[in-house]
Amino acid sequence: MIIDCHCHLEEEMLPLDKMIESMDKSGIHKTALITRLSPPFYVLSDPKKDKLKKLVGKIMLDYSILGRMAYKSSVKKGTFLLLGEKIKILDTPDNDSVLQAINKYPNRFLGWIFTNPTLQGTEIEEVDKLQSHPNIIGVKLHPYFYNYKIETVEKLATYCQEHNLPMLIHLSAQSNCYHYLPEKFPTLKIIYAHAGLPHWRKLWQDMYSYKNVYIDLSSVLTKEVAELAVKAMGYHKCLYGTDGPYGMSQGGTYDYSSVVNMIEHLNLTNSQKEAVLGNTFSSLIR
């Protein structure tokens, strides 16, 4: 079974019926949805931006301190800068939209509960309200967009560990932040989004032996990054995800197969590829 563990619900860009069509075309059985983080934005085919994307990937891989500085500076006053385009960040996650989607198509969609801990006192209440739904699988956190230290989520992490809820985390540039939760909560299942961006090599080196730490391969910029991540972490710690529908062009369709094809061309056995594409993630969720 192929499961996209990291995809956003953005119906202005990709309505649910079109999403299912795209999933079927690429052989995707299920998608784990996260509510949108911003208004719709599209990526135009542009050779200059393609070169910039490769440059960003190289900086993140080979010049980690410089990469983290650039990464941190790309979020300011409720906006983030993506390949030269300034995009608004939405403060309040709309988890109800995800709930509606998983209720409408329970056999195709799973749901992450997205919380923003900077909205004081709401995150545990929101998770507690939704976590009993059979298609809710865990909690999504974004310290990068909302500019908080990972220690802020200690109470929520305690709740998630007690209730066997995985956490999917898009890390900030906070130095060594990826150590805090795995060490303090050794049975909490943690997935670092985008292969642990922006800490790539250092995170892989430090975290590969932790039994409760995984990475997804969504938006990893290049096949080289995916290859290095899988080699460093081990295939059993890597998960298929797309970060869709972000990356599609306006008026186009979303291509789920691009990341699948990338995984299919990794130097892995068929059973190892199946683990990356869905079997490992299936074992992490209830």
Q: What is the pLDDT of residues 87-123, one digit of tens each?
A: 999 999 999 999 999 999 999 999 999 999 998 667 8
Residue 40 CA neighbour count, 13 Å, CB half: 13
pTM for the structure as a whole: 0.94
Say how far apart CA 27 and CA 138 lie, in whole Å: 24
* CA gap 196, 190 in Å, rounded: 11
> What residue ranges do the domains of the chain occupy?
3-284
Multiple choice CATH, 3-284, 3.20.20.80, 3.50.50.60, 3.20.20.140, 3.30.2320.80 = 3.20.20.140
Q: Give percent helix, percent strand, percent coil of the chain, each to the nearest 5.
A: 45, 15, 40
Amino acid at 3: I
How many whole angstroms separate alpha carbon 174 and alpha carbon 72?
9
Q: Give the pLDDT score at 46.
A: 63
CB atoms within 10 A of CB 176: 11
Beta pairing partners, 33: 7, 111
Residue 253's closest CA among 38, 4, 22, 17? Answer: 22
> Which residue(s) pair with 136 in the sheet?
111
pLDDT of residue 50: 65
Specify burial of residue 120 (Cβ count, 10 A radius: 0-12, 13-18, 19+).
exposed
pLDDT digits (tens, 9 = 90+) for 240-249: 999 999 877 6
Nearest to 220 by CA among 2, 6, 42, 3: 6
State the Cα–Cα distance between residues 135 and 110, nearest whole angstrom.
5
Q: In the chain, what is the greatest distance between 2 CA atoms, to the nearest angstrom?
A: 48
Residue spans of the chain under pLDDT 50: none
Write down the pLDDT at residue 45. Answer: 60
CA 90 to chain centroid, in Å, comes to 17
Q: Measured between alpha carbons, how far is 268 from 47 in angstroms, rounded to an integer? A: 31
The burial class, CB within 10 Å (0-12 / 13-18 / 19+), for 62 is exposed
Rounded to whole angstroms, the Cα distance separating 4 from 138 reads 14
How far is it, in rounded angstroms, from Cα 86 to Cα 109?
30
- Secondary structure (3-state) at 174: coil
**What is the reported pLDDT for 122?**
72
Beta strands in 52-158 (DSSP E): 75-76, 79-82, 85-88, 109-114, 136-141
Rounded Cα gap, residues 104 and 176, in angstroms: 40
CA 62 to chain centre: 22
